[in-house]
Amino acid sequence: MKHKKLIITEIFLSFQGESTYVGRPTVFIRLSTCNLNCKICDTIYAKEKGSKLSISEILNILKNLKTKYVCITGGEPLLQKNIEHLLKELLKLDKKISIETNGSINIKNIDKKIKKIIDVKTPSTKEEGSFNLENLKHISKNDEIKFLISSKKDFNFALSFIKKHDIQRFSIPILMSPNLSKKSLPKRLATWIVKSKIPLIFQPQIHKIIKEEPIYLLKI
């Protein structure tokens, strides 16, 4: 299966800026293409650029790195059918694997050992209807749900989604990520979270605050 190919935009070493793996040195494998057109997209280049790499080639890039954490991201990584083969090979390497998905693609075939960080798109993204409700049947205790919050309307949307679908029953982290391009938003979001009395996690993307230079292992 190692001859199977995926379209890759970049592979780089940085630290994890979000999720409960935040702060860990992590290798990121960014897969190309996406099925959504969010108004707020910080990786448009992943939708446009990419090169075909075999799973062997990807594993070779990772071979000498001692990093325990590997994050598969995009674009939308679940659009590529060979992702399942890559994940199987990464699991054999005994890495802590996470995958960031936009929530619109069915997650049922992903191994429960892999942490799925699942977006629920909010109104400001203009893709708020994109969440695949079937995914609620396949959430496991290792997973996390994330909302990007750009306004009070987004926060209210997140609260109604959480209540309507009883997301708290999963006992998983529910991440609230403030849109950092809006200066006053983090402080306002922090207040809304406290007032909500729901155990939400305030989760700014710390890589955007620190703005460190990633170490590129492959850049298309």
d(CA 119, CA 175): 9
Residue 7 or 95 with smaller CB distance to ligand SF4: 7
- Three-state DSSP class for residue 173: coil
User: Which one of the spans 38-46, 105-113, 191-199, 210-218 is the region binding ligand SF4 (CB under 6 A)?
Assistant: 38-46
The tokens describing 215, both together, are 């170490």
Binder of ligand SF4 out of 27, 29, 36, 172 (CB under 6 A): 36
Tell me whether residue 95 or residue 110 sits nearer to ligand SF4 (CB atom).
110
β partners of residue 148: 177
**Residue 43 engages ligand SF4 in binding (rule: CB under 6 A):** yes
Distance CA 79, CA 102 (A): 11
Show the binding pattern over residues 74-103: x = contacts ligand SF4 (CB under 6 A), - = does not. xxx-------------------------x-
Two structure tokens written together for 22: 């935040």
Residue number with CB closer to ligand SF4 (85 or 126): 126
Q: How far is the CB of 30 from ligand SF4 (least distance, A)?
A: 10
CB of 217 to ligand SF4, least distance (A): 21
By C-beta, is 71 or 95 nearer to ligand SF4? Answer: 71
**Which of positions 16-35 make contact with ligand SF4 (CB under 6 A)?**
34
Nearest to ligand SF4 of 75, 178 (CB atom): 75
- Site residues for ligand SF4, window 102-141 (CB under 6 A)? 102
Report the distance separating Cα 123 and Cα 108, nearest Å.
26
Copy the structure tokens of residue 164.
């309507």
| Separation between Cα atoms, residue 101 and residue 130, nearest integer Å | 12
Q: Which residues contact 212 (CB under 8 A, 6 or more apart)?
A: 14, 15
**Interface size with ligand SF4, residues (CB under 6 A):** 11
Pairing of strands 25-31, 5-15: antiparallel
Query: Of 74, 106, 64, 99, nearest to 6 (Cα)?
Result: 74
Which among 100, 53, 49 is positioned nearest to 74, based on CA atoms?
100
By beta-carbon proximity to ligand SF4, the closer residue of 38 and 118 is 38
Least spacing, CB of residue 120 vs ligand SF4, in Å: 11
Contacts to ligand SF4 by CB under 6 A: 34, 36-38, 41, 43, 46, 74-76, 102
